[in-house]
């Protein structure tokens, strides 16, 4: 039994799903300039969003990440497994109705376990579905890295909306060259970021996001749970949480502490990331 399975067991009867995700080897980057465009074609474009950015899909593919057009890669197959139950729950096709089921946070105990890697791959994988649109939110406001990883320059975003009530979501959201994927950047850093994320304005904003875009899945890339309080504040608003656990690195103690901080959420899924080999034959375990 792996450490995350043991830790999950300690949570009592709560159902926790565990998915192993292997370490993905990046390829050498021959052609960093991408003219790639969304192979899925334009579908219900978000008309209110003004800004448009071009994600470097070729670079992303060479980094070993999920991109449209690349067929059956190992990472794409893994994220296909990870997203299935999340999509079901988001649209209440699971066991029962989930409040804000379409709001999904990706978090972990400690830095560098793969939160941003998983958040981007998950967002891209869901955006490739025929009938789902995705909003990827960089909620790691102290150390944002979604835009950088996607090869984009920093932009105004979440923090700016929280600080300026004249700004609308659509003013800062970014449409991308993957027609079904838009991004809400973290925006400018602020010394009271935690208080802002815990504020009533943030709570109303999350309600607005969940209700204004009920057909959209919203993925939040978050800071680590054990080093900040932002992540647990955010967790209290989420319908579903993905907790990334780094294989052979994160201790059982850290996993248990982190799970305790998000126990208000009834739908927690664990991803066993950077696994060198799959532990056992089963992809999913219920505890």
In this structure, what token pair is assigned to residue 212?
A: 């204004």
Candidate list 7, 24, 150, 197; residue touching ligand ATP; CB under 6 A: 24
Smallest distance, ligand ATP to C-beta of residue 197, A = 15
In 3D space, the residue among 168, 226, 220 whose CA is nearest the CA of residue 197 turns out to be 220
* Residue 117 contacts which entry, Mg ion, ligand ATP, none (Cβ below 5-8 A, type-dependent): ligand ATP
Q: Residues in contact with ligand ATP, total (CB under 6 A)?
A: 18
Asked if 109 is part of the footprint of Mg ion (rule: CB under 5 A), the reply reads no
Smallest distance, ligand ATP to C-beta of residue 225, A = 10
Smallest distance, Mg ion to C-beta of residue 138, A = 9
Site string for ligand ATP, 33-72 (x = CB under 6 A): -------------------------------x--------
In 3D space, the residue among 141, 126, 131 whose CA is nearest the CA of residue 221 turns out to be 141
Contact yes or no for 65/120 (Cβ under 8 A): yes
Report the residue number, 169 or 244, with the smaller CB distance to ligand ATP: 244
What 3-state class would DSSP assign to 104? strand
d(CA 241, CA 219): 9
Residues from 117 through 156 that contact Mg ion (CB under 5 A): 145
| Interacting span for ligand ATP (CB under 6 A) from 36-44, 140-148, 181-189, 255-263 | 140-148
Smallest distance, ligand ATP to C-beta of residue 215, A = 27
Candidate list 224, 230, 239, 245; residue touching ligand ATP; CB under 6 A: 224
Q: At what angle do helices 3-10 and 252-261 cross, to 10 degrees?
A: 40
Asked if 116 is part of the footprint of ligand ATP (rule: CB under 6 A), the reply reads yes
Q: Residues in contact with Mg ion, total (CB under 5 A)?
A: 3
Asked if 175 is part of the footprint of Mg ion (rule: CB under 5 A), the reply reads no
d(CA 86, CA 119): 13
Q: Give residue for tokens 């709560």.
A: 14
Report the residue number, 132 or 274, with the smaller CB distance to Mg ion: 274
d(CA 227, CA 93): 35
In this structure, what token pair is assigned to residue 39?
A: 């192979």
Asked if 116 is part of the footprint of Mg ion (rule: CB under 5 A), the reply reads yes
Asked if 112 is part of the footprint of ligand ATP (rule: CB under 6 A), the reply reads yes
Greatest Cα-to-Cα distance within the chain, rounded to the nearest angstrom: 53
Provide the strand spans (E) within the chain: 16-22, 51-53, 103-108, 133-138, 174-176, 181-184, 216-221, 240-246, 268-275
Smallest distance, ligand ATP to C-beta of residue 253, A = 18
d(CA 268, CA 278): 20
Interaction site with ligand ATP (CB under 6 A): 21, 23-24, 64, 108, 111-117, 140, 143, 145, 224, 273-274
């Amino acid at each position: 039994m792996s450490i995350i399975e043991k830790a999950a067991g300690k949570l009592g009867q709560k159902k926790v799903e565990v998915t192993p995700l292997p370490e993905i080897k990046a390829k050498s980057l021959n052609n960093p300039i991408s003219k790639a465009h969304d192979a899925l074609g334009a579908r219900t474009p978000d008309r209110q969003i003004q800004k448009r950015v071009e994600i470097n899909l070729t670079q992303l593919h060479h980094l070993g990440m999920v991109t449209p057009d690349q067929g059956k890669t190992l990472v794409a197959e893994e994220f296909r497994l990870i997203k299935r139950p999340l999509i079901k729950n988001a649209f209440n096709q699971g066991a029962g109705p989930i409040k804000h089921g379409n709001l999904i946070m990706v978090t972990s105990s400690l830095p560098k376990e793969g939160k941003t890697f998983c958040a981007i791959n998950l967002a891209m994988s869901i955006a490739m579905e025929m009938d789902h649109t995705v909003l990827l939110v960089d909620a790691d406001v102290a150390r944002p890295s979604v835009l950088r990883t996607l090869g984009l320059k920093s932009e105004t975003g979440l923090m700016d909306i929280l600080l300026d009530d004249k700004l609308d979501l659509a003013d800062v959201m970014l449409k991308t060259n993957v027609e079904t994927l838009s991004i809400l950047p973290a925006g400018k850093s602020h010394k009271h970021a935690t208080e802002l994320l815990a504020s009533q304005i943030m709570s109303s904003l999350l309600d607005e996001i969940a209700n204004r875009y009920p057909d959209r899945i919203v993925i939040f890339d978050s800071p680590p749970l054990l080093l900040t309080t932002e992540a647990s504040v955010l967790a209290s608003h989420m319908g579903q949480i993905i907790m990334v656990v780094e294989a052979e690195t994160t201790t059982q103690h850290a996993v248990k502490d982190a799970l305790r901080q998000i126990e208000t959420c009834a739908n927690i899924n664990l991803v066993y990331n950077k696994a060198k080999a799959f532990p056992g034959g089963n992809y999913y375990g219920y505890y």
